[in-house]
Amino acid sequence: MSQTKLSPPDAAMRRFLIVQFGVLGAFAVVMIAVEAVIPTVKTPWQRWLLAAGPAALLLVWAWEFFRVIRAQDEMMQTIHLRVVATAACLVLLGASLWGIPERLLNAPELPASLLLPIFAFVYGAAWAMTGGRR
Protein backbone atom coordinates (compact mmCIF):
# COMPACT_ATOMS: atom_id res chain seq x y z
CA MET A 1 0.00 0.00 0.00
CA SER A 2 3.08 2.18 0.10
CA GLN A 3 2.06 5.75 -0.77
CA THR A 4 4.07 8.83 -1.52
CA LYS A 5 1.36 11.13 -0.15
CA LEU A 6 2.18 12.74 3.19
CA SER A 7 -0.12 12.80 6.20
CA PRO A 8 -1.67 16.24 6.93
CA PRO A 9 0.76 17.09 9.79
CA ASP A 10 3.79 16.03 7.71
CA ALA A 11 2.55 17.96 4.66
CA ALA A 12 1.94 21.05 6.81
CA MET A 13 5.44 20.84 8.25
CA ARG A 14 7.05 20.47 4.83
CA ARG A 15 5.06 23.43 3.54
CA PHE A 16 6.08 25.51 6.56
CA LEU A 17 9.79 24.76 6.09
CA ILE A 18 9.60 25.91 2.46
CA VAL A 19 7.55 29.02 3.33
CA GLN A 20 9.85 29.86 6.26
CA PHE A 21 12.93 29.70 4.04
CA GLY A 22 11.27 31.95 1.44
CA VAL A 23 9.78 34.46 3.87
CA LEU A 24 12.87 34.92 6.02
CA GLY A 25 15.08 35.12 2.92
CA ALA A 26 12.74 37.75 1.47
CA PHE A 27 12.77 39.60 4.81
CA ALA A 28 16.57 39.88 4.71
CA VAL A 29 16.56 41.10 1.08
CA VAL A 30 13.67 43.56 1.56
CA MET A 31 15.17 44.91 4.80
CA ILE A 32 18.51 45.65 3.10
CA ALA A 33 16.77 47.18 0.05
CA VAL A 34 14.43 49.36 2.13
CA GLU A 35 17.30 50.52 4.33
CA ALA A 36 19.17 51.65 1.22
CA VAL A 37 16.18 53.36 -0.41
CA ILE A 38 14.42 54.96 2.57
CA PRO A 39 16.88 57.92 3.07
CA THR A 40 16.12 59.09 -0.47
CA VAL A 41 12.34 59.13 0.13
CA LYS A 42 11.05 62.48 1.40
CA THR A 43 7.31 61.92 1.97
CA PRO A 44 6.56 60.45 5.43
CA TRP A 45 3.70 58.22 4.22
CA GLN A 46 5.95 56.72 1.55
CA ARG A 47 8.57 55.99 4.20
CA TRP A 48 5.91 54.28 6.34
CA LEU A 49 4.77 52.31 3.30
CA LEU A 50 8.31 51.12 2.64
CA ALA A 51 8.77 50.17 6.30
CA ALA A 52 5.54 48.14 6.12
CA GLY A 53 7.16 45.74 3.61
CA PRO A 54 9.51 43.89 5.99
CA ALA A 55 6.91 44.17 8.79
CA ALA A 56 4.36 42.39 6.58
CA LEU A 57 6.85 39.58 5.92
CA LEU A 58 7.33 39.02 9.66
CA LEU A 59 3.55 38.91 10.10
CA VAL A 60 3.35 36.30 7.31
CA TRP A 61 5.98 34.22 9.10
CA ALA A 62 4.11 34.49 12.41
CA TRP A 63 0.83 33.48 10.72
CA GLU A 64 2.45 30.45 9.09
CA PHE A 65 4.12 29.50 12.36
CA PHE A 66 0.83 29.37 14.29
CA ARG A 67 -0.80 27.61 11.36
CA VAL A 68 1.77 24.79 11.29
CA ILE A 69 1.47 24.24 15.05
CA ARG A 70 -2.32 24.03 14.78
CA ALA A 71 -1.96 21.51 11.95
CA GLN A 72 0.15 19.12 14.02
CA ASP A 73 -1.12 16.05 15.85
CA GLU A 74 -1.29 15.75 19.63
CA MET A 75 2.27 14.51 20.16
CA MET A 76 3.90 16.94 17.74
CA GLN A 77 1.96 19.88 19.20
CA THR A 78 3.36 19.07 22.63
CA ILE A 79 6.90 18.91 21.24
CA HIS A 80 6.40 22.13 19.27
CA LEU A 81 5.19 24.00 22.34
CA ARG A 82 8.12 22.71 24.39
CA VAL A 83 10.54 23.82 21.67
CA VAL A 84 8.80 27.22 21.37
CA ALA A 85 9.17 27.77 25.12
CA THR A 86 12.84 26.75 25.07
CA ALA A 87 13.65 28.93 22.03
CA ALA A 88 11.74 31.93 23.44
CA CYS A 89 13.58 31.63 26.77
CA LEU A 90 16.96 31.42 25.02
CA VAL A 91 16.20 34.48 22.85
CA LEU A 92 14.97 36.47 25.87
CA LEU A 93 18.03 35.46 27.86
CA GLY A 94 20.36 36.43 25.00
CA ALA A 95 18.59 39.76 24.46
CA SER A 96 18.69 40.56 28.18
CA LEU A 97 22.38 39.63 28.41
CA TRP A 98 23.05 41.88 25.42
CA GLY A 99 21.07 44.65 27.12
CA ILE A 100 23.41 44.82 30.13
CA PRO A 101 26.52 46.10 28.28
CA GLU A 102 24.18 48.08 26.01
CA ARG A 103 22.89 50.01 29.04
CA LEU A 104 26.01 50.10 31.17
CA LEU A 105 28.81 50.28 28.61
CA ASN A 106 27.10 51.97 25.65
CA ALA A 107 27.51 48.84 23.54
CA PRO A 108 25.67 48.84 20.17
CA GLU A 109 21.89 48.38 20.43
CA LEU A 110 20.36 45.02 19.55
CA PRO A 111 18.02 45.62 16.58
CA ALA A 112 14.61 44.54 17.91
CA SER A 113 13.46 43.71 14.37
CA LEU A 114 15.93 40.82 14.38
CA LEU A 115 14.42 39.17 17.46
CA LEU A 116 11.85 37.19 15.45
CA PRO A 117 14.34 35.97 12.80
CA ILE A 118 16.74 35.03 15.64
CA PHE A 119 13.88 33.18 17.35
CA ALA A 120 13.11 31.36 14.07
CA PHE A 121 16.74 30.26 13.84
CA VAL A 122 16.97 29.15 17.49
CA TYR A 123 13.60 27.39 17.17
CA GLY A 124 14.82 25.54 14.06
CA ALA A 125 17.99 24.43 15.85
CA ALA A 126 16.07 23.36 18.97
CA TRP A 127 13.54 21.50 16.80
CA ALA A 128 16.32 19.62 15.01
CA MET A 129 17.75 18.59 18.39
CA THR A 130 14.47 17.48 19.99
CA GLY A 131 11.54 16.92 17.64
CA GLY A 132 13.60 16.03 14.61
CA ARG A 133 15.30 13.04 16.18
CA ARG A 134 12.10 11.10 16.87
Residues near another protein (CB under 8 A) are 1-3, 5-10, 13, 72-76, 131, 134
Written as one string, the DSSP assignment of 7-66 is PHHHHHHHHHHHHHHHHHHHHHHHHHHHHHHGGG---HHHHHHHHHHHHHHHHHHHHHHH
Q: Minimum Å distance from CB 4 to another protein? A: 8
Nearest CB to another protein, comparing residues 101 and 132? 132
**3-class DSSP state for residue 125?**
helix
Q: Minimum Å distance from CB 116 to another protein? A: 25
Conformational region of residue 106, where left means phi above 0, alpha means psi within -120 to 50, and beta covers everything else:
left
Q: Minimum Å distance from CB 10 to another protein? A: 5
Q: Minimum Å distance from CB 8 to another protein? A: 5
Nearest CB to another protein, comparing residues 6 and 52? 6
**3-class DSSP state for residue 97?**
helix
Nearest CB to another protein, comparing residues 31 and 126? 126
